[in-house]
Structure 1
Amino acid sequence: MNDHIDDMMLGAYVDGELHPALIGKIEAFLAGNEEARRKVGAFREINAFLRACGSDLRDAA
């Protein structure tokens, strides 16, 4: 099942940009792949950090 799931697809999943038909495939992949779950967690942390940075920049302007 993971033959086409790469970091780009995981990033699209985290960003909510993945085609709805692929969400179930990604979630099934994540259920059986600890490394991919860690990557998704890291991507979410990066997104949160970037949102916070953008928020700080808007407040400083």
Structure 2
Amino acid sequence: ASVVSAEVSVEVFFAVFVQEVSAPAAKKADIITANAFVVFFINFASFGFYFKCIFCFTTGILHSS
């Protein structure tokens, strides 16, 4: 999952970079805001997944002991 999200983040970053370079100044703010949200969402989703795994793993150890 981490590899996929990392690749997506890189792809999104380059897409953002190309858009920022080619876009007019007025449009740049909208693009930056939208893509920041996308990147945040991707990272948050992958973080939530790992947090859930760690949480379940640790609680499983605590309950079994």
Q: Return the TM-score normalized by structure 2.
A: 0.48
Of structures 1 and 2, the one scoring higher in RCO (CA 8 A, sep 6+) is 2
Bigger fraction of residues in helix: 2
